[in-house]
Amino acid sequence: MCLDNLLKKLSDKTAVIGIVGLGYVGQPLMLRYSEIGYKVLGFDLDEERVRQLNSGHSSIEHIEDARIGQARENGFEATTDFLRIAEADGIMLCVPTPLNKYREPDMSFVTSTCDQIAPYLREGQVVALESTTYPGTTKDEVLPRLERNGLKAGETIFAVYSPEREDPANADFTTHTIPKVVGGHTEACLEAGLALYNHAIDSLVPVSSTETAEMTKLLENIHRAVNIGLVNEMKIVADRMGIDIFEVIKAAATKPFGFTPYYPGPGLGGHCIPIDPFYLTWKAREYGVNTRFIELAGEINTAMPDYVFGKLASALNERSKSVRGSKIMVLGIAYKKNVDDMRESPSVALMEKVRDRGGVLSYSDPHVPVFPNMREHQFDLSSEALTPDVLAAQDAIILATNHDKFDYEMITKHAQLIIDTRGVYVTGAKNVVRA
């Protein structure tokens, strides 16, 4: 009876959708459910974010305030009061899963969130974890907390794992057009999970278990991390040989089968790709398996900021300068082009290396006007406007993130030295060093 009532509510859109965590994953989900006619209740511990959303403003650059305003008109409400979890029929957990200082999974956000909602859960709800994690998390960490007050997964409450697949600011793929993997703890849980996402997502991919869904997410991102590690290593080899790796990639990409182009850079960024390999390697050790191939790719990618810094120091040295005392500006501190997302950005590692070695640091990023508060990194800096005088005053420019808003012709015309980590400029330019 619990399942039947839940399925009916989800089908006729009388169900209330609760989204816990209103960041880069939670906000797009909220907007999608609101746009198709569900009542949405959002939960977040950040009181300022809740206030902004209830005032019709987004804290995420690529999400327009008008869309938040429309959601408010449709009945969306944000709150910090977890007592109201009881009002929701479908609950999605979109909370961070970072690494701790030992590069091990930090599950505290998932477990503390489950602990917060557990007292207010009731019969007839479906709870979906969307956060990236290792296989077994839903079964071992989430389920015991959902069942703490006598509820039974698959009978009175329904547990699902469905990994997020957001690509911020990518207009070609939106929340509802990206196929969504769904795994349930039981067959009834899977049925509830599919009903939860049925109206919101164009294509659903059911799998046999929550562990399968969890492993699927890791494979997707580890595949990308490993291939980026490969091309980053190829970049170093090609540089030693005097070969333009970007020309090589462009030529290789003409092959119509068996090759997918990946591009090198200053390191990995974003919430998933730099982190997911460590989730699997950590869990694999429990089973006596050493994931050497994955760990090697992680080592290469993690070392890329050091490689870029080495190129900077060498280029300055050739100009009879040292990093210490030199004015060095980083262009682009978001983790990828055309977004304001700073999660795991390799630019931050570069900035710390410049600062720690005595460089006079500044940055310019049209998407990040002020360096944000971050758990492990802090700079009292604001973005500087790029003018000919500002560029000419720098001893070196590190092009770390290739935003479309940058005037690259003006930059190369006035900069003394450009460390190009993104292949924006052709090789051979007198003031450009590829890194």
Check residues 195 and 268 and name the one with the higher pLDDT. 195
For residues 94 and 109, what is the distance between their CA atoms, to the nearest angstrom?
Answer: 10
For residues 367 and 169, what is the distance between their CA atoms, to the nearest angstrom?
Answer: 12
Average confidence (pLDDT) over 198-207: 98
The token duo for 277 is 């390999």
For residues 354 and 293, what is the distance between their CA atoms, to the nearest angstrom?
Answer: 31
Residue 432 pLDDT more than 90? yes
Residue 49 pLDDT more than 80? yes
Domains of the chain, earliest start first: 2-208 (3.40.50.720), 303-434 (3.40.50.720)
Q: Of the residues 2, 94, 189, 272, which is catalytic?
A: 272
Residue 399's DSSP bridge partners are 331, 420
Cβ neighbours around 263 below 10 Å, total: 14
pLDDT at 167: 80
Residue 34 pLDDT more than 90? yes
pLDDT at 4: 96
For 160-169, write each residue's pLDDT tens digit. 999 999 887 7
The pLDDT-based confidence of 21 (bands split at 50, 70, 90) is very high
For residues 162 and 322, what is the distance between their CA atoms, to the nearest angstrom?
Answer: 50
Element (H or E) spanning 91, and its range? Answer: strand 90-93
Q: Where are the beta strands (DSSP E) in 371-431?
A: 396-399, 418-420
For 347-397, write each residue's pLDDT tens digit. 999 999 999 999 999 999 999 999 998 877 889 999 999 999 999 999 999
- Write down the pTM of the prediction: 0.92
Average confidence (pLDDT) over 428-432: 83
Residue showing tokens 């816990």 = 20
Q: Annotated catalytic, 272?
A: yes
CB 86 within 8 A of CB 121: yes
CB 157 within 8 A of CB 127: yes
For 293-311, write each residue's pLDDT tens digit. 999 999 999 999 999 999 9
For residues 63 and 162, what is the distance between their CA atoms, to the nearest angstrom?
Answer: 23
Put residue 161 in one of left, alpha, beta given phi > 0 → left and psi -120 to 50 → alpha: beta
Task: State the DSSP code for 99.
Answer: B
Instruction: Assign 284 to helix, strand or coil.
Output: helix
The token duo for 422 is 């993104």
Least confident of 18-22, 97-101, 136-140, 180-184: 97-101
For 151-197, write each residue's pLDDT tens digit. 999 999 999 999 999 887 777 889 999 999 999 999 999 999 999 99
DSSP string, 13-65: T-SEEEEE--STTHHHHHHHHHHTT-EEEEE-S-HHHHHHHHTT--SSTTS-H
Residue 71 pLDDT more than 80? yes
pLDDT at 373: 85
Residue 92 pLDDT more than 90? yes
Mean pLDDT for all residues in the chain: 95
User: Euclidean distance between the first and final Cα of the chain, in Å?
Assistant: 62
